[in-house]
Amino acid sequence: MEMETGLRKALEQNQLVLHYQPQMSLITGELVGIEALIRWQHPKHGLIAPLEFIPLAEETGLIVPIGKWVLREACRQRKAWGTLGYHDFPIAVNVSVRQFEDDHLIDYISALLDEFDLKGIHLELEITESIMQNLENSTIILNKLKELDVLLSIDDFGTGYSSLSYLKHLPIDKIKIDKSFVDDIIYHSNQGKMVKTIIDMGLNLNFSVIAEGIETNEQLHFLKENECKIGQGYFFSKPIPADEMVEYLLSGN
């Protein structure tokens, strides 16, 4: 209860911040996307990670206004980067199921694209496989979002219950191979085979495939060998504040 009040306050008093993590082409080494990740800059407790407050936000429904704030802040930041001359990559935002199912989401996103003069392809929504539990309704929502031209990706792919055969009937652009698979690549050859299988099937179904949580050269090497074309992880950069991201962009990354 106390934390819920605190979280409400956080939203009202601008204590929420976004950090940004680059997504890199494993072929050219160029930056091809940026994921926005929320943090709570608490006046007493410092920077609080999303795992410590997003579950509560989801339970209480606060995720809906918080999620709107995230979308707006990400679009504002994306426009600012565009003004600096960085036009080409989308900004990716995590969207919780409850937010995904909110009736106002589509109109809200449409209004944001207008407000910040962005094309749909400048914004990517990361949703999880759990939306498949309500396949019929989710299909309708995904199709409406796709009419706005926003990019749609499946986060934490491989940890849920969906299969690629389901996904091929949905307007999904990208799958993000969960970090847990990438972690084990080098230690267990079976995990490597699994990752390879996901990459191959994803590419065959015309999805972009990104590997999450790349930390080592060995993982990078394996992924490149197996034709994974995009990667994200501490190997390239941790999630960083917006001002550091500008330096990162300026440095030609």
Selection from 95, 101, 151 nearest residue 127 by Cα: 95
CB of 212: closest distance to ligand G in angstroms? 5
Among 73, 124, 126, 129, binds Mn ion (CB under 5 A): 126
- Closest C-alpha to 71, from 29, 102, 38: 38
Q: Does 124 bind Mn ion (CB under 5 A)?
A: no
Contact call for residue 124 and Na ion (CB under 5 A): no
Q: How far apart are CB 85 and ligand G at their closest, in Å?
A: 26
- According to the binding rule CB under 5 A, does residue 155 interact with Mn ion? yes
Nearer to ligand G, 6 or 67 (CB): 67
Q: Is 29 exposed, middle or buried (0-12, 13-18, 19+ CB in 10 A)?
A: exposed
Give first-to-last CA distance, the chain, whole Å: 43
**Residue nearer to Na ion on the CB measure, 73 or 156:** 156
Nearer to Na ion, 73 or 155 (CB): 155
CB distance 125 to 145 below 8 Å = yes
Q: In the complex with Mn ion, which residue's Cβ is closer, 35 or 102?
A: 35
List strand residue ranges (DSSP E) for 187-253, in order.
Answer: 208-211, 230-231, 240-241
C-beta closer to ligand G: residue 47 or 135: 47
Q: Is residue 35 at the binding interface for Na ion, with CB under 5 A as the rule?
A: no
Asked if residue 49 binds ligand G (CB under 6 A), the reply is: yes
CA distance 160 to 76: 32
Q: Which residue's Cβ has the minimum distance to Na ion?
A: 156
Residues 63-102 that bind Mn ion (CB under 5 A): 94
Using CB under 5 A, which residues numbered 208 to 237 contact Na ion?
212
Which of Na ion, Mn ion, ligand G, none interacts with 158 (beta carbon under 5 to 8 A by kind)?
A: none
The set of residues, in sequence order, having a beta carbon less than 8 Å from that of 15 and lying 6+ positions away, is: 9, 40, 41, 42, 43
Q: CB–CB of 174/210 below 8 Å?
A: yes
CA separation for the pair 2, 60 (Å, rounded) = 12
Whether 53 contacts 40, CB under 8 Å: yes
Task: Please give the residue ranges that form the binding site for ligand G (CB under 6 A).
Answer: 21, 37-38, 49-51, 54, 67, 70, 94, 96, 155-156, 212-215, 232-234, 239
Task: Please give the residue ranges that form the binding site for Na ion (CB under 5 A).
Answer: 155-156, 212
